[in-house]
Amino acid sequence: MNIEKFPEEANEFLSKIFGPLAEKTGDILSELLDGSLGMKVKLWRYKRIIETILKARQYLLDKGINPKAIPLKILHPLLESASLEDNGDMQGIWAALLANAADPKNSKDIHSSYIDILKQLTPIEAKLLDTYYSFYMKEEIPWERTGFGHKSEFRISKEDVCSNIGLSSEQFYLIVCNLIRLNLLQLPGITDALAVVNDAGDQKFPLVIKTYEFVQLTPLGESFVKSCRYGRKN
């Protein structure tokens, strides 16, 4: 692929995030697109890559950040996956993930599993997850955090989420099941006033109920959504 055909601003950004491999950028992108079914598909994916790169570049420019080189094991699958995305909102998420990977202020590289997770999300699933995170990050909600900073007791009702993004109960249950499968959400254990009594009758154990009416982010879910945002606090 002739990288000179890329917009100048895209070339500049690519040379930075590819780092020592900058001279091989054209070859790497060509290899990335070689699996396309034909020239039209290849050009379509090519445009998606440019759009993602320019969005990520703008995210960083808006914060005055000079991008760092991204490890190829992150950059290659990220751009490959972004090149297949045709939804505008999801393209923005891929660009935010790319921007976070290129931000030198982030002390740790994004986890490679985040790319595979994002590939499995539909736009409405991503929106629901982002809605949970927005509620979760509201400072006025006084939930206790665990020692590693996760709001272990924080949970949001199904009604609040469904009304916020316009979901039916059936849609909600299907989406939450998939997000639980990906370990991004979990059903919190709610201690009921009832108790289970042992056979001897001398000990009582609290009855813990799990229900889809209340769902909470996992530590992985919190970190994933944070990595898929850029320049947004809530």
Give 122-178 as a DSSP string: -HHHHHHHHHHHHHHT-TTS-PPP-TTS--TT--EEHHHHHHHHT--HHHHHHHHHH
User: What kind and span of H or E run contains 139?
Assistant: none
Higher pLDDT, 42 or 180: 180
Domains of the chain plus CATH, in order, are: 3-106 (no CATH), 124-225 (1.10.10.10)
What pTM was estimated for this model as a whole?
0.78
- Mean pLDDT over all residues of the chain? 80
β-pairing verdict for 204-210 and 189-197: antiparallel
Query: Per-residue pLDDT tens for 49-81?
Result: 989 999 999 999 999 999 999 998 999 999 999
Q: Of 154, 150, 158, whose CA–CA distance to 136 is shortest?
A: 154
Paired tokens of 218: 């996992």
- Geometric angle at alpha carbon 127, from 219 and 166, rounded to 5°: 125
Residue 225: pLDDT above 60? yes
- Read off the tokens for 209: 């109920």
DSSP 198: P
Band (pLDDT 50/70/90 cuts) for residue 82 is: very high
Q: Where are the beta strands (DSSP E) in the chain?
A: 156-157, 185-186, 189-197, 204-210, 214-217
Per the document, the length of the chain is: 234
Single-letter code of the amino acid located at 42 = K
Sign of the Cα torsion 217, 159, 121, 82 reads: negative
Joined together, the tokens standing for residue 50 give 């440019």
CB 203 within 8 A of CB 218: no
Q: Check residue 156 and give its pLDDT.
A: 74
pLDDT of residue 149: 43
In this predicted structure, the answer to whether residue 88 has a pLDDT above a threshold of 70 is yes
Tokens coding 168: 């039916």
CA distance 133 to 234: 7
Q: For residues 103 and 68, what is the distance between their CA atoms, to the nearest angstrom?
A: 6
Q: Distance between CA 227 and CA 111 in Å, rounded? A: 9
User: Token digits for 78?
Assistant: 């990220």
Q: Identify the bridge partners of residue 165 per DSSP, sorted by sequence position.
A: none
Rounded CA gap, 117 and 152, in Å? 22
Query: Cα(193)–Cα(233) distance, rounded to whole angstroms?
Result: 37
**Of 121 and 162, the one with more pLDDT:** 121
pLDDT over threshold 60, residue 131: yes
